[in-house]
């Protein structure tokens, strides 16, 4: 069984844990969409709020830092790409490579936005059971024509459940490669290949075994859904999220 990761559900009794998952999903989407249009002042305010929420739900910060270290590499590449591609007043110029002040500002802004979106998603995953998420996705997609809402809901639920397993397999593969001295290789692409390929193979094998097991048990997406009920607190939290999004934009 996979260990607890940053992408696992955390048992708790907070207001977010008890919140109706339909309202919670809508709140996450609103925050994510608003973040894309928010500038530095709004991002600072949102980061402060998300940090308080992470502490409130007792999110394991050490686990968060450990799991997101690879995401920080992606942010670094995004920052470098934006710094080199944006026109403007040069900050550093080395031959044909020019880093502009606008590029640095745009790169920091994009990376900060992505980081806030990730934090919003992690809070949602940590406070939402996959079974309730499946019901919420069905509820939201049911009015949409030509979309099999039950099948899509099952796929999303399985994806959420699979994330901790994939991370655990990646950790085991990395430990095995370290024991074989792969870190002594100076070529980073060689080290990446030796870790990425086994993880992909194990992931596909595990997914295939799960598919066979579900077929053997005659599993279908047409199952009785949970009953969702909304209360006063759900509307209050949703109203607070809408107010937060308005303040971020302003």
Cα distance between residue 187 and residue 172, in whole Å: 21
Answer yes or no: is 8 within a domain.
no
Give the model confidence (pLDDT) of 10-54 as tens digits: 888 888 988 988 999 999 999 999 998 899 989 999 999 999 999
Neighbours of 232 (CB within 10 A): 7
Question: What DSSP element (H or E) covers 62?
Answer: helix 61-67
pLDDT value at residue 100: 86
Give the domain range for residue 195.
Answer: 15-249
Domain count within the chain: 1
Answer yes or no: is 45 within a domain.
yes
Answer yes or no: is 77 within a domain.
yes
Answer yes or no: is 5 within a domain.
no
Structure tokens at 79: 């920052």
Give the model confidence (pLDDT) of 98-149 as tens digits: 888 888 899 999 999 999 999 998 899 889 888 788 888 888 888 888 888 8
Answer yes or no: is 90 within a domain.
yes
Answer yes or no: is 200 within a domain.
yes
Answer yes or no: is 166 within a domain.
yes
**Cα-Cα-Cα-Cα dihedral sign, residues 151, 156, 160, 162:** positive
Answer yes or no: is 89 within a domain.
yes
């Amino acid at each position: 069984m996979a260990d607890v990761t940053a992408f696992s559900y955390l048992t708790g009794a907070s207001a977010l844990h008890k919140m109706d998952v339909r309202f919670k999903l809508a709140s996450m989407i609103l925050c994510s969409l608003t973040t894309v249009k928010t500038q530095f002042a709004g991002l600072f305010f949102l980061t402060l709020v998300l940090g308080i929420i992470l502490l409130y739900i007792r999110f394991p910060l050490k686990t968060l830092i450990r799991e997101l270290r690879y995401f920080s590499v992606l942010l670094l590449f995004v920052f470098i790409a934006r710094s080199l591609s944006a026109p403007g007043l040069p900050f550093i110029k080395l031959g044909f490579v020019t880093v502009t002040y606008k590029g640095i500002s745009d790169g920091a802004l994009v990376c900060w936005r992505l980081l806030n979106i990730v934090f919003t998603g992690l809070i949602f995953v940590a406070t939402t059971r996959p079974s309730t998420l499946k019901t919420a996705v069905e509820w939201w997609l049911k009015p949409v024509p030509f979309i099999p809402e039950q099948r899509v809901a099952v796929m999303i639920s399985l994806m959420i459940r699979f994330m901790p397993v994939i991370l655990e397999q990646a950790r085991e593969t990395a430990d095995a490669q370290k024991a074989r001295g792969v870190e002594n290789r100076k070529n980073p692409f060689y080290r990446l290949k030796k870790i990425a390929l086994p993880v992909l193979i194990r992931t596909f094998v595990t997914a295939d075994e799960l598919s066979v097991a579900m077929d053997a048990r005659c599993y279908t997406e047409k199952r009785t859904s949970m009953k969702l009920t909304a209360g006063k607190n759900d509307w209050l939290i949703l109203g607070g999220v809408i107010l937060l999004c308005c303040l971020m934009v302003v």
